[in-house]
Structures are given as structure tokens and as C-alpha cells.
Copies of this chain bind each other. A is one copy, B any other.
Amino acid sequence: MTAVAVPDVRAPRRTQGGTTVTRGVLDVLAAWGVQRIYCCPGSTEAAMLDSLVTRSDLELVLVTHESVAVAMAEGDARATGRPAVAYLHTNVGMANGLAHLSSAQLSSAPVLVLNGLKASTLAGRGAFTTLAHPRDMVRQHVKWAHTCAAADLVVDDVDRALHAAIAEPAGPVWLGLPQDLLETEAPVPSPPARRAAGSGLTRPAPDAVAAAAVLLAGAQRPVLVAGGEIARRRATAEVLTLAERLGAPVFTDGRRDFQASTVPTDHPLAAGLYDPAHPAVRDADVVAFLGSRVFTEFEAGGTDELPAAARLVHLHPDAAEVGRLHPVDAPLVGDPVLALADLLAALPADVGRRRPAAVSAGESASRPAAERFPGHVGLGPVVAALADAVAAADATVVLDATTATVPLLRGLRTTRPAQLLSSVSGSLGWGMGAALGVAMAEPAHRVVCLLGDGSFQFGLPALWTAAADKVPVTFVVLNNRTYSAVASALSRFGGAAAEQDRWPGTDITGLDIAAAARAFGVPAERVDRVADLPRALAQALAGPGPAVVEVLTGPASPPTQPPSAQSPSTPTAADPAAAPEGGGQAW
């Protein structure tokens, strides 16, 4: 190689950009409906970037930290149901994207991670930004992982990776792309026409459907739990029909498993977050977990999360999830829409005639949030104001608020499936990128991202992309200047910290969040009176681009007061789902 010649811009060469291989990759992505590539590039991405110069069907969305790319791709995939692409640079970029990838895995989001690697011939030479086995670092976070081995196989590998991502159970996949293969002009196949006319989805076996139908039809006090897969597979109508025929209350997943809103909170049968202490659950004779992960445990040997006497129905697209931790009486493996249709058809005709139309719901109905959190001065009215603003704008909500999660899940009102999206990965900062991805992929709804000040620091670089692309996300930061989850854990531990009223590792006072947002070019307002919040939210939601509303809330666990002394409802191991503000075991 010699020095690059200075191109003569007066006589353009009219190149298509990139190489046959990179153009082929983009052709495949476009054929699959991918519209954006979320990317923090490095030098290994030159050929791919070059081929994007001449295309209008694919947009490069530049991010300034790889964690943002991965979260955006997940948000995009969850909003559209289609695969989305994060493009990361070498081993260090991949490492930076890894934590949020665990969220995509848990939410079954078909995220394709393309990982630009140094040339394959360098892999064994300890070269700059290489690992001997990059796949080994990633493999636990994806369902499929492969490093391309030859230039003429790259395009087909990308196609296969996308197929793997969307095949049920869907999930993230990883494809390593050595630089030398991308920079080669190689014969590549045409964008493959995967010729399947059907969906590739499955129904449960007839005997399984019949068993579940018998169980539910015979139940005296059935309870339904509509989990995240109901939102992902858009099976809410089927769940509500089943609930109405059975006269059964419908819970959403509990706080630990909550991935997405599933049933309208104002539905007469909507019962709020799954809670083993709720009377309907406690007294249930049959509980049907529909599209739920049962459960995402927080601690060992903890609580009995299932009513002892109840028999269980468990529906999930992933056979490995059904009965994973708890024995199930009626397992249903398959697509929720198809399985629920089968189940409804299998119910005896008289089910739904002899029952009352409605059973008392839980606490999540239309009662204003403020009334439900009388003990939490500060956060209660904040939640109420947020709920009103979200409802007024019919906004989509992305939640990344650690210890404020439970009050928010209880207080927000939703009418659309997946109107509220969360993560169960515990990877802080996820929400900021995810919200941007949702907003880009589904511009019909405004997006509100609710997060804590700890999460905000993790997600900060997302503001660069928010500003650069003018993405209309309203970030609402509940700033209590505290790692409340740590303070709560210290309180539960009950040792010297609680005794001496000293809380190491909890005080994160110092960042002026609104000022930080403005430094990125994002309009921001700090609100320290609840009365000002509705106006601030309305203003942010009406603006043309991103905005940050920083809400100063009372420290959930002030260093001067042990959290356990603060509230009668400090979480207990026996009832983690009931943890209120400051009591969350969020992280």
C-alpha cells in the first residue's frame, strides 16, 4: 500500500462505495426491512461506512458510546417487531455494548450485533484491539454467535444471523466481521429470498391445550398474568377475551419480570402488578402465566412467589422457559396469539355464561397515583403528574428508574400494549438509548424516558445522539442524589451502616443534570416544586426535539436517616414486589 491519492473531485469516479461485500451486506439488511444502523465506528468500519455514502435506503445513526447503539437497537426492535442492527467496533466497542445486550436477550429482542474486527490474519498475533476469541466474550449474551470466515460467505452469514435473531424464541445474535473480508471484492449472492410463505410460528399440541382448558374452565378463582411476551407478540386482545370469559383478574408481570405493559390499566379486570400477597392471587386455585418469565429471582431462597394451593398454566414461546423454576400443571409452548386462540376455542361453551362479568380488580385502575402513595411525599405527586402527562400525550414510556420503578409501574396509566417498556437486565442507563430507538422506529408516539439520576450518568452519551438527530424523547430524571438501592441493601443488612447512620457508596450528589443536558444541546429544566411539573412536562412533550426534565425528589434514603426508619413499608424479603420508593432492591 502507498499513500492514498488525493481524489479529484472535479471528475467523480461514480463509485458505488465500499466493496461488493459491504454493499451486499447492506442489500441484505435492507431486504429484511432494516432502516437504520446504530453505530459507533472505528477504522475497521471504513468499507462499510463508505458503502453507506451512496445509499438512501439505510441511515447511519451515529452514537458516541457503544452502549447507546445496543440499547437503541433493542428499542427499535421492540417497537417494530423487526430486527434491528447495532454495529460495534472491535473488542473494546463490543465490551462497551455488552451490558445492555443482556437486556435484549431478556426481552427477546431480535438485535443483530455486527462487530467489526481486525483482519482475520491478525487474530492470533495479539494485535491492536483484538481478542483471540471475541466470540467467547459475547456468547452468553446472544442466542447465536459466529465469526465470518471468508469474504464470499459474509453476505450469507448476515442473512443467516438475521434469520437466527427472529426465529422464535427471538433474541440477539452476534456476527464478527473481520476487516479483511469486508475490504475484499468478492462474489456475493444476491439478497436471498427466504421463500417461506408462513410465519414459522408454532401452536401448542392439542393435548396441552385441552389440559389447560380443563384446568381453567374448572377453576373457581382463576387468575391470569399477562407477561412481556403478550406485548411482544401483540396478544393482548386474546388475553382480555380469555379474562372476560373466565371472569378472571389479569395481572401484569411483577416488578422483577416487568418488560412491557400488556393490558389497559383501566380495564375492569386489570389488577396491577403480580403480587403473591394480593388477595386474588393468594386465594387463586389456578394461575395462568401467559408470556411471563416465571420468575426473575432477586435473591436466593427468598419468597414463595406462588400461591401454595394453585395449579399452574404457563404459556411461553420458549420451551425452555416453561416450567423452568416451578413445576407446571399445564405447559403451553407456542406463539401467544395462536396458543390463546386455541385455548379459547377449547373452553367449554358455557364458560363465560355462568360467571359474573367482572371481578374486583387490584389497585392499578384509574385511582390517581397521588392517593396511592400517601407516605411518599415527593414521589407520589411526581408519579401522578407523570401519569397525567403520559396519558394526555398518549406517550410511550421507557422505564429505567431503579428504586422508583414500583411506584411508577403502579401509577402510570397505559392503554396500548407495549406502551410502557422496561428492562429486567439491571443494566443502568439502558433506558436512554432504548427510548431513542423506540422514538426513531415508531415516530407516531411521543416517547418519555423515566430514569433515576444514577441511571442518567450511565446513559449520558445518549444525549449526543438525541441532540444530533433531534429525536423527540422527553427524558425525566428523578434525581434523589442517591444510590437508593445500595442504601436499602445496607439497611436490610442491618449492620454498622444502619447502626452508625453512615451510608458508604450511596451519596452521588454533585451532577447538575439539567446543565449536563444543555451541554449536549438538549433543552433542560430543573423542577423542584411538584406544582411546576405538569407545565414542564407539557412543554417538553410539545417541543420539536429532545428535552430533559430534572425533578428533584426527596432522597429515598438520606444519609442522615436509615432507610428502614423512613417508611413503614420498607421492603422485606417476603414481599419484594411490594417495595415502594427507596425500598427497591433494584440493583
Contacts and interface: CB of A to CB of B under 8 A. Distances in A.
A454 interface: yes
A500 interface: yes
A125 B297 contact: yes
A508 interface: yes
Nearest to A129: B426
Given A53-B496, A92-B99, A136-B140, A297 B46 contact: no
Size class of the A contact interface (CB-based, 8 Å): 35 or more
B13 A499 contact: yes
Given A92-B427, A496-B54, A486 B42 contact: yes
A41 B12 CA distance: 56
Contacts of A199: none
Interface string A370-394: 0000000000000000000000000
Given A43-B486, A96-B99, A508 B50 contact: no
Contacts of A499: 7, 9, 12-13, 15
B3 A570 contact: yes
A283 interface: no
Contacts of A368: none
Given A296-B127, A504-B60, A2 B574 contact: yes
B457 A64 contact: yes
A508 B42 CA distance: 13
A181 to B, nearest CB: 11
Interface in A423-452: 424-428
A93 B485 CA distance: 15
Q: DSSP majority for the A interface? A: loop
A325 interface: yes
A49 interface: yes
A367 interface: no
A225 interface: no
A41 B506 CA distance: 8
A502 to B, nearest CB: 5
Contacts of A45: 486, 489, 505
A62 B51 CA distance: 44
Contacts of A512: 518-521
Nearest to A42: B587
Contacts of A41: 483, 486, 505
Contacts of A426: 42, 90, 92, 128-129
A53 B128 contact: no
A49 B129 CA distance: 35
Interface in A22-54: 39, 41-47, 49-54
Contacts of A62: 504-505, 507-508
A325 to B, nearest CB: 6
In the A-B complex, the 9 residue pairs with the smallest Cβ-Cβ separation, listed nearest first, are A17-B496, A43-B489, A515-B519, A119-B300, A516-B519, A1-B573, A95-B99, A46-B489, A95-B98
8 contacts: A12-B500, A39-B505, A43-B587, A126-B324, A457-B461, A458-B461, A467-B510, A515-B519
